[in-house]
């Protein structure tokens, strides 16, 4: 019964995501490239391959995920704060229309990723265990369950993680844990149960995934 309900929830989520994004305007490739050059390149690179670990790599990320994140930097109507807190990103997001958001997201999704790499050999085994099997004693599910065995994610639902800077992934897990990032209740619950060492281990392992 529980399994049937889980499948029903997933199916309804996919259906909802499909109906929402089916209504979105088609991206303008030329406009997306222009925005990447004029607005985003200083931090993320024109091709989405940031060279600074504080700024995420956007290349090859799912369009719908990028759209959601950009919109989450804008406060919803009637809300005092946005779901993602960043004075810098809030300013840039405010400049973009919904059509612009989708165009620049499509531009970055079409770029080739130059992946980061794992660097902490001492934590690789722990990171792999968490990513592939979770931590049963803490109620932490396997990351692979949503983001895939190789970190490719599921378009419209879960982001691509593989090849992302370990520093950035760790920072986002901490932001979820501390309530500074509030656009995924699921990730907040997971991050709250992770120690600093576990966060660092899984983030480093993810950087080396291919």
Looking at the fold, whether 161 and 97 belong to one and the same domain comes out as no
How many domains does the chain contain in total?
2
Q: Residue 171 is part of which domain span? A: 121-207
Task: State residue 25's pLDDT score.
Answer: 72
Looking at the fold, whether 126 and 197 belong to one and the same domain comes out as yes
Task: State residue 23's pLDDT score.
Answer: 64
- Chunk the chain into consecutive blocks of 10 residues (it has 210) and report each block's average pLDDT, rounded to whole numbers: 40 47 78 98 98 98 98 90 94 96 98 97 96 98 98 96 98 97 97 98 97
| In-domain check, residue 8 | no
| In-domain check, residue 184 | yes
Work out the burial of residue 166: count CB atoms within 10 Å of its CB; fewer than 13 is exposed, 13-18 middle, 19 or more buried: buried
Q: What is the pTM of this model?
A: 0.87
pLDDT tens per residue, range 142-164:
999 999 999 999 998 999 999 99
pLDDT tens per residue, range 17-39:
454 445 667 999 999 999 999 99
Q: Which residues 6+ apart lie within 8 Å of 114 measured at CB?
A: 49, 57, 59, 163
| In-domain check, residue 23 | no
| In-domain check, residue 58 | yes
| In-domain check, residue 80 | yes
Question: How far from the centroid of its chain's Cα atoms is residue 59's Cα?
Answer: 12
CA distance 143 to 130: 7
């Amino acid at each position: 019964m529980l399994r049937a309900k889980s499948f029903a929830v997933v199916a309804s989520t996919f259906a909802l995501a499909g109906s929402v994004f089916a209504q979105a305007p088609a991206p303008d490739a030329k406009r997306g490239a222009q925005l990447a050059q004029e607005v985003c390149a200083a931090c993320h690179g024109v091709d989405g391959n940031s060279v600074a670990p504080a700024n995420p790599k956007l290349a090859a990320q799912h369009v719908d995920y990028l759209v959601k994140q950009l919109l989450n930097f804008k406060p919803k109507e009637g809300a005092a704060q946005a779901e993602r807190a960043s004075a810098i990103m809030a300013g840039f997001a405010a400049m973009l229309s919904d059509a612009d958001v989708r165009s620049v997201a499509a531009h970055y999704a079409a770029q080739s990723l130059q992946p980061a790499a794992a660097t902490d050999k001492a934590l690789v085994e722990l990171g792999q265990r968490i990513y592939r099997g979770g931590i049963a004693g803490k109620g932490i599910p396997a990351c692979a369950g949503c983001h895939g065995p190789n970190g490719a994610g599921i378009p419209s639902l879960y982001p691509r993680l593989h090849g992302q800077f370990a520093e950035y992934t760790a920072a986002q897990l901490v932001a979820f844990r501390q309530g500074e990032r509030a656009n995924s209740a699921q990730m907040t619950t997971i991050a709250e149960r992770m120690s600093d060492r576990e966060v660092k281990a899984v983030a480093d392992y993810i950087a080396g995934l291919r």
